[in-house]
Amino acid sequence: MSTIPSQPITQTRESTPGILDRAIAEWRTALGQDAVDTSEPALTRAGTCTFAIRRTVPVILRPSTRAQVQHLMRIASHYGVPVYPIGGGKNWGYGSGVPSASGCALIDLSRMNQIVEFDEELAYVTVEPGVTQRQLMDFLAARQSNLWMDSTGASPECSLIGNTLERGFGHTPYSDHFGHCANLEVVLPSGECLQTGFGRIPGASTAPVYKYGVGPYIDGLFTQSNLGIVTRMTIWLMPAPEYMQAFFFRCDEEDGLSYLVDALRPLRLDGTLKSAVHIGNGYKVLSGLRQYPWELTGGKTPLMPEQLQQLSKSMNFGYWNGSGALYGTRAQVAEARRLLKKALKGNVTRVQFLDDRLLRIASRFAKPLGWLTGWDLSKTLELVKPLYGLLKGEPTAEPIKSAFWRMRTPGKADADPDTEGCGLLWCSHTAPIRGEDARIMMEITERVTLAHGFEPIVSITLLTERTLCSVVSISYDRSIEGEDKRALDCYRQLMDTLLAAGYPPYRLGTQAGFRVPGEEGFRNLLQTIKDRIDPKNVLAPGHYLR
Amino acid sequence: MSTIPSQPITQTRESTPGILDRAIAEWRTALGQDAVDTSEPALTRAGTCTFAIRRTVPVILRPSTRAQVQHLMRIASHYGVPVYPIGGGKNWGYGSGVPSASGCALIDLSRMNQIVEFDEELAYVTVEPGVTQRQLMDFLAARQSNLWMDSTGASPECSLIGNTLERGFGHTPYSDHFGHCANLEVVLPSGECLQTGFGRIPGASTAPVYKYGVGPYIDGLFTQSNLGIVTRMTIWLMPAPEYMQAFFFRCDEEDGLSYLVDALRPLRLDGTLKSAVHIGNGYKVLSGLRQYPWELTGGKTPLMPEQLQQLSKSMNFGYWNGSGALYGTRAQVAEARRLLKKALKGNVTRVQFLDDRLLRIASRFAKPLGWLTGWDLSKTLELVKPLYGLLKGEPTAEPIKSAFWRMRTPGKADADPDTEGCGLLWCSHTAPIRGEDARIMMEITERVTLAHGFEPIVSITLLTERTLCSVVSISYDRSIEGEDKRALDCYRQLMDTLLAAGYPPYRLGTQAGFRVPGEEGFRNLLQTIKDRIDPKNVLAPGHYLR
């Protein structure tokens, strides 16, 4: 069953020039000159991401207030000019900030970056879409808050609201971002504004703390969709636990994944493991440790499993490499650790624990680190520290270096993969937490990626109590002739094959086209709603819905 | 601010008789004679609940399959005859199974009672709307399953789907019923059927285990609403923990609530308390232990606080009486117990723990129970056992006996409060988990209920990590002249006063009228959706939406 179009949809919604000019003129009046950008370099940048979908962006709008967003949407709807909103534009691997259709005015919400409410006692923060992961981290640090945020590995400059609306995930017990938000303020395509949950009841003290409100619970309508622009959201924060202990394990057998997944399921299900556990294959670890080993392959790609094995031996990482953390009081962590060790026994080559104290020591004495992880000494700390931070919700720019895997220039944490020519596509599919399902997914992934000339760089996450997610990075050098096309072909075949095997994606990128796979009833209902509230289809046309 | 109509909406949607007769004739053909009931006693029963809202029900339909539900909805939509679906009709205190408008055909889904899927490993069950709490409990017991369900205290015959769609809650770590379901099958007013989440993707192995699917997450649209009939749902079950320990505490000071709530908040927030904690006031405990003390009050109502105090002393219960449970391995429970005791220290008169072993001993030797709870010996076990069972997800009929509080006939667990003339209204409002908010809510509740001649029978539940819910029972004898009206007046004033103070209801009963309180944007969007998918407004008119 293939439900994904065989070619990426190059949606085009070019407006007739006269109409667009009039809309732009009105936007200038409404937002001010400096909030309407038609400069060529900015427009080119706005249409560029880490793969071969390039969209013409006629204008960038930078509203500063919700009223301006309402105003600009009224203008867009009046003229029928399509628009595409972004928070930070850091949706890497899924299309970054590139609009879903050519001809869309880009609404860059980064100026709306106020943290409008903060409650230490009830542990939440209310933010605008321009608030980034780094900004919230700094905000909490400045207040010496005892609260942790949850962070994705994407980028410190990633928009909190943007990631939540794409239903992204992080690494702490609050990893389900959409599961830990409430109280949305939404501007509809008409420019009308609404509040969800109890936010719609003036003076309701439970607006920021209770998700569902009374009556239909509608927040989910605005996730992975194009039905409204979220201009404010409450995000719940996690009280820092008394103690956190990270764990790292490795397993050197290919069929170990299946045992590991089955062994960890009961702990994820019963809440002993409160947060997502990540299991990376050797390719994943290698791409975090270094760039492509051109010297070993004689300049050829892809890196074959036998070659990887050579490197894993010399660099001392496993076929499967797991990480996660335990949170609670010292006694709670000790008990969780006991249960984890019991579950892993016989299924892993080694398991190591790491806490703040040990990390401090390790940082001071890099050498003793060998006994800690068994990994390559010089690189381990570099890899472990950001990962350890993520387990406490601290954003990091480190992981994006792996986007430079196949590049001939060295990766930098502050580099912009969109403009550096890095090729990166993420393909994120779900399976039940069952060893056999994990095994089949991996088998498909390895077969399809290697056949297309790419490495199966895979991180398997025990995302929820019952569901795992396999994130596959298709990583390449865009400057090499034909690679862009091969990568998209690989993406599409991987998507189709995994779907046909019963493993649907939890998230789609711009490359997937506008079709949400599946039967018609669901699509009809959503399209009915979309048609009614956005009759001219001006808001993010093709983003999950037509 | 009063957003609730001052009079209950007596919605009437009588169809012209000819039209209704034609619809009924077609329903007979579609469903079979025995599935279309127009017998007078059944119709009268269907229009009766525990307060003074009586609705004319012209016909009861009892479909057995989803296809029949689709068929009957096509007929309803064609003729514009309104319908109202119920699972078990046990929505006690909120209108039981009485339709939202007079003239509605009642769709009784109790024949659709198949448990269609069960997975011990991934811990879920997929059910139809007629499946009751008791049925699932028996099903799990018969399979010697290691999984627990979560149960409300309402009735063993309560529909699992019905309660979940009203966003009801129970007593285990899976107490948020809507938070633990996925994969809905929904029949729309047009008769069209859709699947939500990954259920809409044929063959998706994650359909029963992942909530959000891909694209907009729409499940919430079908909760507390009238947009569709849910004919199938996956419900997640909890692996039985190695050990459970219930706890009971009491506090004898009126202002103790505020301290208790503040002391417990950090434990609820950090997950040490995985489930809802309930704090009942003295009235709540008394109404569970016995009927109204007519002898003490000389036949007068309400029971005043001084009189309650007398009884609480002689019967040995507190001003505030808390209960909850700790779940996990023995070590996890021991640590949670340490933290709980530390938090309660100085805030309670006593705290007692109870586990399976102690309960077995207590059951065998009723006498030693005195030292366990300090409560009235003869009644304690009777009150504690069902409550203890609820903490493990076992449904019980016991709590409904308290609906007989003001009745002159003794309450029975298997009695039907709807037809026995019991008066019962539940008023369920939310507040942040903050002592001061709990105090204000209680102050309002006591003042309003006593002024209307009713006791403030209150259970405060720490519902989520950040939100508490106060469930007030307005309990009376419907046969007493004027009480029906006084009770509804009391309900309305309590609702309005709590709303105005910033404490909105998490759920509404038929008595609240059709209006979801709050600002217009939200209502407009929902009404737009409703108008589009149900243009003749045939499905449950007035149930949360017009």
In this structure, the answer to whether residues B212 and B324 fall within a common structural domain is no
Sequence-ordered list of residues with C-beta below 8 angstroms from that of A346, at least 6 positions apart, any chain? none
Question: Do residue A302 and residue A315 come from a single domain?
Answer: yes
Q: Domain with A179 in it: what CATH number?
A: 3.30.465.10
pLDDT tens digits along B160-187: 999 999 999 999 999 999 999 999 999 9
A358 vs A65, higher pLDDT:
A65
| Contact (Cβ atoms closer than 8 angstroms) between residue A465 and residue A287 | no
| Domain membership flag for residue A387 | yes
Strand order in B457-462's β-sheet?
B350-354, B243-251, B320-328, B278-281, B457-462, B467-477, B422-432
Q: What is the mean pLDDT of chain A?
A: 92
Using the predicted structure, report yes or no on whether residue B378 has a pLDDT greater than 60.
no
- pLDDT tens, position by position, A401-435: 889 999 998 887 778 899 999 999 999 999 999 99
User: A216 and A346, same structural domain?
Assistant: no
Write the DSSP string, A229-258: EEEEEEEE-EEPPSEEEEEEEEE--TTHHH
Q: Among B500, B521, B536, where does a domain finish?
A: B500
Contact B215 A271 (CB under 8 A): no
Q: Which two tokens stand for residue A371?
A: 């006994």
When pLDDT is averaged across residues B223-249 and rounded to a whole number, the result is 97
Question: Contact, B325 vs B389, CB < 8 A?
Answer: no
The pLDDT assigned to B4 comes to 38
What span, in angstroms and rounded, lies between the C-alpha atoms of B447 and B459?
Answer: 16
Look up the domain containing B220 and give its range: 115-239
Of B26, B39, B100, B14, nearest to B68 by C-alpha is B26
Q: What is the CATH number of the domain that holds A433?
A: 3.40.462.10
Give the total residue count for chain B. Answer: 546
Model pLDDT for residues B474-498, shown as the tens digit of each residue: 999 999 999 999 999 999 999 999 9
What local confidence, expressed as pLDDT, does residue B516 receive?
A: 57
Quick check: is B469 in a domain?
yes
The mean-pLDDT minimum among A22-26, A221-225, A527-531 falls in: A527-531
Q: Over the stretch A465-515, which tens digit does the pLDDT of each residue have?
A: 999 999 999 999 999 999 999 999 999 999 999 999 999 999 999 877 656
Per-residue pLDDT reduced to its tens digit, B498-514: 999 999 999 999 877 65
| Average pLDDT value for chain B | 92
Instruction: Report if residue A395 sits inside a domain.
Output: yes
- Interfacial A residues in 489-518 facing B (CB < 8 Å): 499-500, 502-508, 516-518
Q: Which of residues 425-444 of B touch A (CB under 8 A)?
A: 430-434, 437
Cβ-proximal residues to A546 (8 Å cutoff; 6+ apart), any chain: A514, A527, A530, A537
Arithmetic mean of pLDDT, B22-33:
97
Residue B292 shares a structural domain with residue B191: no
Position A134 in a domain = yes
pLDDT at B12 over 90: no
Flag whether pLDDT at B49 surpasses 90. Answer: yes
Burial call B434-447: b when 16+ CB within 10 Å, e when fewer: bbebbbbbbebbbe
The pairing of beta strand A83-86 with beta strand A105-108: parallel
Query: What is the tally of structural domains in chain B?
Result: 2
pLDDT score recorded for residue B370: 60
Minimal CA–CA distance to B221: which of B267, B184, B176, B246? B184
**Cβ atoms of residues B468 and B461 within 8 Å:** yes
Task: Calculate the alpha carbon distances from B477 to A97, A449, B155 in Å.
Answer: 63, 72, 20
Whether residue B122 sits in one domain with residue B220: yes
Q: How many Å apart are CA A472 and CA A497, to the nearest integer?
A: 13
B168 and B265 housed in the same domain: no
Residue A112 is predicted with a pLDDT of 98
Q: Indicate the residue type of B350.
A: R
Whether the pLDDT of residue B530 is over 60: the answer is yes
Whether residue B317 is found in the same domain as residue B431: yes
- Decide if B85 is inside a domain: no
User: Is B294 part of the contact surface with chain A (CB cutoff 8 Å)?
Assistant: no
Q: Do A210 and B506 make contact, defined as CB atoms within 8 angstroms?
A: yes
CB contact under 8 Å between A212 and B533, yes or no, is no
Over residues B276-285, mean pLDDT: 96
Q: How far apart, in whole angstroms, are the C-alpha atoms of residue B470 and residue B462?
A: 9
Q: How far apart are CA A529 and CA A546, in angstroms?
A: 11
The whole-number average pLDDT for the span B504-531 is: 84
- Residues A143, A277, single domain; the answer is no
Same domain flag for A281 and A309: yes
Q: What is the DSSP letter of B4?
A: S
Across the interface, which of A194, A516, A525 has its CB nearest the CB of B521?
A: A194
Domain finish residue from A192, A215, A239: A239
Q: Report phi then psi at A429, rounded to 5.
A: -115, 155
Name the residue facing A335 among B121, B272, B329 (closest C-beta). B329
Last residue of a domain, one of A207, A239, A271: A239
- Predicted confidence (pLDDT) at residue B373 exceeds the cutoff of 70: no
Quick check: is B370 in a domain? yes
Q: How confident is the model at residue A7 (pLDDT cuts 50, 70, 90)?
A: very low
3-class secondary structure for B234-290? EEECEECCCEEEEEEEEECCCCHHHHHHHHHHHHHHCCCCCCCCEEEEHHHHHHHHC
pLDDT, residue A31, reads 97
Which residue in chain B is spatially nearest to A430 when comparing CA positions?
B206
Instruction: Give residue A9's pLDDT.
Output: 43
Between residues B465 and B363, the one the model is more confident about: B465
| Region class of A317: left (phi > 0), else alpha (psi between -120 and 50), else beta | beta
Q: Reply yes or no: is the peptide bond before residue A302 cis, omega within 30 of 0.
A: yes
Report residue A3's pLDDT band, with 50, 70 and 90 as the boundaries.
Answer: very low
Decide: pTM greater than 0.90. yes
What confidence category does residue A362 fall into, taking pLDDT thresholds of 50, 70 and 90?
confident
Interface test with B, best of A178, A195, A466, A508 (most B CBs within 10 A): A466
- With an 8 Å Cβ cutoff, are B518 and A200 in contact? yes
* Record: contact B217-A178, CB cut-off 8 A: yes
A384 with A494, same domain? yes
**Which pLDDT score is estimated for B2?**
36
Query: What is the reported pLDDT for A374?
Result: 56
pLDDT tens column, A174-233: 999 999 999 999 999 999 999 999 999 999 999 999 999 999 999 999 999 999 999 999
Q: Average pLDDT of B363-383?
A: 61
Per the domain annotation, does B100 fall within a domain? no
Smallest Cβ–Cβ distance between A522 and the set B3, B195, B465 belongs to: B195
Pick the residue of A206, A526, A530, A546 with the most B CBs within 10 A to test the interface with B by mutation: A206
Q: Which residue of B has its CA nearest to A265?
A: B122
pLDDT exceeds cutoff 50 at A6: no
Chain B residue numbers with beta carbons less than 8 Å from the beta carbon of A524 are 192, 194
Question: What distances in angstroms separate CA B47 from CA B105, B112, B162, B228, B352, one per listed residue?
Answer: 11, 21, 18, 22, 44
Find the residue in A nearest to B227 (Cα). Answer: A216
Do A321 and A403 lie in one domain? The reply is: yes
Contact list, B218 vs chain A (CB under 8 Å): 220-221, 522, 525-526
Are A458 and A472 in contact by the 8 Å Cβ rule? The answer is yes
A481 plus A354 within the same structural domain: yes
**φ, ψ of residue B272 in degrees (nearest 5):** -60, -45
A99 assigned to some structural domain? no
